Structure 1
Amino acid sequence: MRLTEEQKQSYRDKGYVMPLRLFSGEEALKVRQEIEDLERNHSAGSGTHDLNRLFRINGQVAIPLLAQIAQTPELLDAVEDLIGPDLMVWSCELFIKEAGTEKIVSWHQDLTYWGLGETDDEVTAWIAFSDVSREAGCMRFIPGSHKQRILPHRDTFDEGNLLSRGQEIAVEVNEDEAVFDVLKPGEMSLHHGRLFHASGPNHSGDRRIGMAIRYISPNVEHSADHNDYAMLVRGANRNRNWINFAPARHLFGENEMRLYNEILAAQAGTLSAGAEETVNLYDVQHTTT
C-alpha cells in the first residue's frame, strides 16, 4: 500500500488521510473474533494488569495479535511514505466503545502528554474492526490544525470524558469545520499527532472496535531523563535515545510481562507530568480516541 501523491499532499495539508483499505471485511471480522476471544478467555489479564489495561496501554508488549497487526507490510508501506523508512511503534492501543455509551472524548492533540515534543515524525494509524459510523462515535478531525504548535490543554477529570485526565484544548474549537472519520471494518485512517480530534457517544447497536498504532521515526527525541522504549518494525535505529524491543511472542509470557512492567514504570512519570490530581493512567476501563 503506497500512498498516492494526492494522499500524501492531503496529509501534509490537512493532517490526515482516510479512508484507506488495509484488510478485507472478512479479515477484519477474524481480528474482531480474536479480540473477543481474548475478552472471553483472558479477562483477568496477567498479574496485577487486567485485560482492559493491557488492551489500552502498550498492548504490543504482551499481546502477539497486536504486535502482528502493527507489522502488517501494507500498513508499514503507507506510514513509510509519511515519515520515512526507519519505523518504530511507540504504542498499540485497542479502543472499544460499547454500544449505547454516552462517554465522549474532548478535543485534544495526542502529542501533548507523550513527552515526544512538537515532532512531525509521528503518525497514528487508526484501524476499524467494526462499523465506525457517525452514529457509533467515529473520530472527528479539524483539517489543517496540525500546522499549529501544541496548544495549552486543561485537565477536567470529567467522568464523562474517556481520556485519562479529561484533557481538552484550552481554546475554542469551531466544530462546524470538523470532518468525520467514518470507517468500514478493515479500513483505517492516518493522522498527525498535533491534529485536533475528538469523538462522540456510541448511539449505534454495536460495539465500536478500533486499534490505534503510534508510529515514530528514531529521529524523535523525548523529554524524559531516561531512554524511552519502542518496537523497531522497519529499517534501523541509529539514535541512542531509544531502547528497542522485539514484538511479543507469547501471550502474557513471563519475559513479556517483565518488560511490560519495566516500560510502565519508565513512562508513568512523563504521561502524568503536570497534573494537579492523580492520573490513573493504567487503571482504566475500555477507552477511546
Structure 2
Amino acid sequence: MGDGREAPLRTFLDSTFKGGANTNDWMNIIHAPTSGFGLRSASGPARRPSGDQRVFYRENGFLLARGLMPLSLLDQLRHRLRDLSHGVEEDTNDLETKIAAREEAEASARALKDALSQFIRVPTLLDWVEDFCGKDVLSLGAMLVRVLPTEEPTTSEGRLHQNGYFIPMEADDGRVVSVWSPLEGTTSAGGVVEALTVLPGSHRSPLLQHDLNGGEQSALISSPPKGVKSLALAVEPGDVIFLHPRLIHGSQPNRSSRVRTELVAHYASARTPFV
C-alpha cells in the first residue's frame, strides 16, 4: 500500500502462525450472496447486535457473537484443509507423479481460497459487519491460520498486538473491524475452545509501537497499558469475535497435541481514509 505495513504483517504472520492460507479479496467492496451458506432466516442468529451489545463493544473493544458462522461452511474448510495435508507426496522420481501432486495441491489451494471467499461473504456475518462499518463494506482479506502445538514457555501472553498497526487505514471507532472465529482446535472440559486473549478497554489507547524483530516467544508490545487485566475468551466453532482495531489481543499458545486453526478477517468502510 506504499506505507510499508504489508511487509511487517507478513513477518508477524510467518513467525506466529507457521502457515495457512489467505484470499485475494483485498480492497474489494463485497456484498452478501443470494444463495449458499449462512442465508438470513427468522430462526437464525440475530440480524444485528443489540443495543446492549453495541454498548459493550464501545466500552470493551470486542464483542462475542454466538453461533454466527454456519457450521456447514466450517466443515467445508476442514475438508479443504484435509485435502491439502493428505495430497499426493512429491517425494518421488516419477515425473508424472510429481506433476499430479502439484496439480492436486494447486486445485486444493484454489478450493480453500474459494471457501475463504465464502467465509467473508456469509450474510449473517456481513449483517453484523455492516453495523460496524456501514453499507459499503470493503474487504481487507481473510486468513486461515494454523497455530502449531508448543511446549515452549512464553511470557508474551499470546503475542499481544493491535490489528490497526498492520492495517493501512485510519483505525477510528466505527469504520474498521476485525473478526476472529475458531475452526477447530484445543478443547478444554466441556468441549470449549480457549484460544484468544483480549485486554478489555485497551482500545481506548492509541496505536502502540510493535517490535517485529524479536523471537517467536518475544512480546510484540513491550509496554501494554498498566492496570488492564487480560481475559481469555471461551468460544466454540461457529462463534465470532469482533475486534476493535486498537484492541490489544493475542492468540494463546497451543498446548494441545493438535494443530489449532483459526479464521481471521478484516473489514472497513469504503469511505475510510488510507494512512
Normalising by structure 1, report the TM-score.
0.62
Q: Which range is displaced more, 35-44 or 124-133?
A: 35-44
List runs of 5+ in structure 2 lacking aligned partners.
1-46, 91-104
- Superposition pairs of residues 130-209 of structure 1, within 5 angstroms: 130-131=184-185, 138-160=195-217, 168-173=220-225, 177-209=229-261
Q: Which range is displaced more, 7-16 or 20-29?
A: 20-29
Give the share of equivalent positions with the same residue, in percent: 23
Root-mean-square deviation (CA), in Å? 3.2
- Superposition pairs of residues 8-27 of structure 1, within 5 angstroms: 8-25=54-71, 27=73
Structure 1 residues 157 and 183: CA distance shift in structure 2, 3 A: same
1:129 aligns with 2:183: yes
Letter in 2 for 1:21: G
Structure 1 residues 108 and 175: CA distance shift in structure 2, 3 A: farther
SS, match of residue 203 in structure 1: coil
Distance (whole Å) between structure 2 residues aligned to residue 191 and residue 80 of structure 1: 14
Deviation at 1:173, TM superposition (A): 4.7
Higher alpha-carbon Rg = 2
Equivalent residues of 1:181, 1:189 under 8 A apart: no
Deviation at 1:218, TM superposition (A): 0.8
1:36 aligns with 2:82: yes
SS, match of residue 28 in structure 1: helix
Distance (whole Å) between structure 2 residues aligned to residue 168 and residue 203 of structure 1: 20
SS, match of residue 115 in structure 2: helix
- Deviations for 1:67-94, whole angstroms, at most 9, x for unmatched residues? 1111000000011112211101112111
Structure 1 residues 101 and 81: CA distance shift in structure 2, 3 A: farther
SS, match of residue 78 in structure 2: helix
Of 213, 219, 222 in structure 1, the residue corresponding to residue 274 of structure 2 is: 222
Of 57, 62, 67 in structure 1, the residue corresponding to residue 117 of structure 2 is: 67
Distance (whole Å) between structure 1 residues aligned to residue 151 and residue 262 of structure 2: 15
Deviation at 1:160, TM superposition (A): 3.4
Structure 1 residues 133 and 85: CA distance shift in structure 2, 3 A: farther
Letter in 2 for 1:129: L
Aligned length: 206
